[in-house]
Amino acid sequence: MNRLAGLTSPYLLQHAENPVDCLWTPEVFEEAQRRNLPVVLSVGNSACHRCQ
């Protein structure tokens, strides 16, 4: 389980079991810059009827 499990968004909650730990804070961007890592951004596409 990742940090999305504590949120209320139905879209984000369906990804709470994903192996990627999601977080959206200034500290995340600072750490990514410090470690020279990319930041992956989901636009929230949940249109696939099979996934819903």
Could you state, in order of their start, the residue ranges of all structural domains in the chain? 1-52
Residue 52 pLDDT class (50, 70, 90 cuts):
low
Tell me which residue has tokens 């249109």.
Answer: 47
Calpha distance 36→13 (Å, rounded): 28
Model pLDDT, residue 43: 67
Q: Check pLDDT > 70 for residue 51.
A: no
Instruction: Give the whole-angstrom CA distance, residue 19 versus residue 49.
Output: 22
The rounded distance, in Å, linking the Cα atoms of 50 and 48 is 5
pLDDT digits over 2-35, tens only?
888 888 988 888 888 888 767 777 888 999 999 9
Q: How many other CB atoms are there within 10 angstroms of residue 31's CB atom? A: 13
